[in-house]
């Protein structure tokens, strides 16, 4: 069965949580990078489990990137819950969903808010300040998805790794390079490599945004 949720991101999140609450459902979130190398057909299973158990798949802003005509008929017949969570859709794309969804909800436009900047978290993490990094993480988790937090920490990790292994500035701005050098001095090269491995592993092994957040917090607490 298909659900289509549009518009306000926070409202969509609440609605998706409500769909899974009180049910024995495994919720799997799928983004565009998840289907860059793996076909969507291997990510979304339309058949129920051996004992009739159902799953819930949340496809984030994928309607523009997949062949809807090929997948929507099978998704409609499935006992699994398949949610399309979209910022917005054009009229031609909306028309493809007509008559196929269990429910379509438009939560309206995003309410403009002051953008939360995650960089203090990255600075605290790579300064190896465990307490400050943990506090910054708690604040960031209120405003950003686990994927966004993960991306910020990995972005700085790349700069730190370059600063650690380069004898000259590898192309950063002077400010970025000086900052990355300071962070790199607080970690051995093998520690940086290990952190990279762990960040990659938890991202590819995640089964939900909350699980990814838990794993990020564990890494912070091992600084």
Count of CA atoms in the C-beta half-sphere (13 A) of 140: 27
- What is the Cα 18 distance to its own chain's centre? 19
191 close to 219: Cβ distance less than 8 angstroms: no
pLDDT of residue 111: 67
Q: Which residue has tokens 């390079």?
A: 177
pLDDT of residue 165: 95
pLDDT of residue 113: 67
DSSP at 37? S
Distance between CA atoms of residues 9 and 6, nearest Å = 8
Write down the mean pLDDT value for the chain: 90
Task: Report, as an integer, the average pLDDT of 11-29.
Answer: 81
Q: Taking Cα atoms as reference points, which of 81, 37, 83 lies closest to residue 62?
A: 83
Q: Dihedral sign, CA of 64, 65, 70, 71? A: negative
pLDDT of 110 higher than 80 = no
pLDDT for 159-176, tens place per residue?
Answer: 999 999 999 999 889 999
Q: In CATH, what number is assigned to the domain containing residue 100?
A: 3.40.50.300
pLDDT of 112 higher than 80 = no
Q: Of 56-65, 89-98, 109-118, 176-185, where does mean pLDDT reach its minimum?
A: 109-118
Distance between CA atoms of residues 217 and 150, nearest Å = 10
* Domain final residue pick, 72, 106, 140: 106
Write out the residue range of the structural domain in which residue 180 sits: 119-220
DSSP string, 93-109: HHHHHTTTEEEEEE--S
* Phi-psi map region of 211: left, alpha, beta (phi>0 left; psi -120 to 50 alpha): alpha
Quote the number of domains for the chain. 2
Distance between CA atoms of residues 75 and 209, nearest Å = 23
My answer on whether 129 and 210 are in the same domain is yes
* Domain final residue pick, 61, 84, 106: 106
Residue 91 is assigned to a structural domain of this protein: yes
For 1, the token pair is: 């069965």
Query: Which residues contact residue 139 at a Cβ distance below 8 angstroms, ignoring those fewer than 6 apart?
Result: 121
**Residue 81 confidence class, pLDDT cut points 50, 70, 90:** very high
Query: Which residues contact residue 21 at a Cβ distance below 8 angstroms, ignoring those fewer than 6 apart?
Result: none
Query: Which residues contact residue 216 at a Cβ distance below 8 angstroms, ignoring those fewer than 6 apart?
Result: 137, 146, 149, 150, 153, 202
My answer on whether 96 and 181 are in the same domain is no
Q: In CATH, what number is assigned to the domain containing residue 158?
A: 1.20.272
């Amino acid at each position: 069965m298909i659900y289509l949720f549009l518009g306000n991101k926070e409202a969509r999140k609440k609605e998706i949580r409500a769909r899974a609450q009180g049910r024995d459902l495994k919720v799997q979130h799928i983004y565009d990078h998840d289907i860059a190398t793996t076909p969507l057909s291997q990510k979304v299973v339309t058949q129920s489990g051996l004992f009739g158990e159902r799953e819930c798949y949340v496809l984030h802003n994928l309607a523009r990137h997949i062949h809807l005509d090929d997948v929507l008929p099978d998704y409609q017949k499935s006992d699994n819950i398949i949610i399309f969570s979209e910022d917005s859709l054009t009229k031609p794309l909306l028309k493809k969903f007509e008559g196929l969804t269990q429910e379509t909800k438009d939560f309206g436009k995003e309410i403009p808010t002051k953008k939360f900047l995650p960089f203090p978290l990255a600075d605290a993490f790579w300064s190896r300040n465990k307490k400050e990094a943990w506090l910054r993480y708690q604040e960031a988790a209120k405003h950003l998805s686990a994927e966004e937090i993960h991306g910020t920490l990995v972005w700085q990790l790349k700069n730190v790794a370059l600063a650690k292994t380069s004898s000259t500035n590898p192309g950063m701005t002077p400010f970025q390079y000086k900052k990355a050098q300071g962070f790199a001095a607080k970690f051995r090269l093998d520690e940086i490599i290990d952190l990279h491995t762990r960040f990659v592993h938890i991202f590819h092994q995640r089964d939900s945004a909350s699980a990814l957040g838990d794993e990020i917090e564990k890494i912070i607490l091992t600084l």
